[in-house]
Amino acid sequence: MNILITGATKGIGKAIAESLSDTNTIFATGRNQKLLSSYENYFVCDLSKQEELEKLGEYISQNKIDILINNAGEYIYSKIDEINYSQIEEIISVNLKAPLFLTSKAIPYMKEKKWGRIINIGSISGVMGEAGASLYSASKAGLIGGTKALALELAEFGITVNTINPGWVDTQMGNESAEEGDWTKEELLECIPQRRFVTPKEVAGMVKYLISDEAKGVTGQSINLCAGLSVGC
């Protein structure tokens, strides 16, 4: 299978690529060419820039992508009365516009093949909301809505569309996000029923299941992988 992963240079994206690389051809994207060069197939792209995004769309069409994993994301912690328009543009462009656009470019080949997998990496913040991160929460909630609509639209073609919503994840982004907030990491852990951050490998494992034939009946779902955070403290 040809699998394209956005944000593949570190964290969840890198873990997904490592998990799936044995029996698949990985196409990696990201902004850091030095980090991407460890992959045989890669495309340098800033998802917030329309011209670069459109070129990535062409790259997807040319390489007949069977599985698209929209993993790349931006996070901003800021009170609503302190944000500016450029921040709104950045978050919505990367977290919502880009996944929808790239999906539109992957779908024609998947329809022709009558098989495909779209997996969006959302966030528990898009399910529950997160004070101080309204831009992030809104963009990830939009991704969940898009997933449901696309699953209905594409079901007859053998294409499944799902979103995985990680809670706090033990990555550089996850730990930096924790530091930016109003609570310490220890205080955050007290609010997580399992008292731990999720690992990137756990997310990769869920991805591996969702692309398998065993999961062909799973579509349009918003799956919370959050160590119990969505249930309550």
Query: What phi and psi, each to the nearest 5 degrees, are found at residue 200?
Result: -55, -35
**Dmax of the chain from CA atoms?**
50
Q: What is the DSSP letter of 84?
A: -
Residue 181 one-letter amino acid: G
- Catalytically annotated residue among 42, 59, 75, 136: 136
Q: Give residue 47's Cα distance to chain centre.
A: 13
**CB neighbourhood size of 215 (10 A):** 16
Query: What phi and psi, each to the nearest 5 degrees, are found at residue 14?
Result: -65, -40
136 catalytic? Reply is yes
**Dist. CA 194–CA 165, nearest whole Å:** 16
Instruction: Work out whether the CA dihedral 48, 58, 24, 224 comes out positive or negative.
Output: positive
Q: Where are the alpha helices (DSSP H) in 63-199?
A: 85-92, 98-113, 125-128, 134-154, 172-180, 185-190
**Active-site residue set:** 136
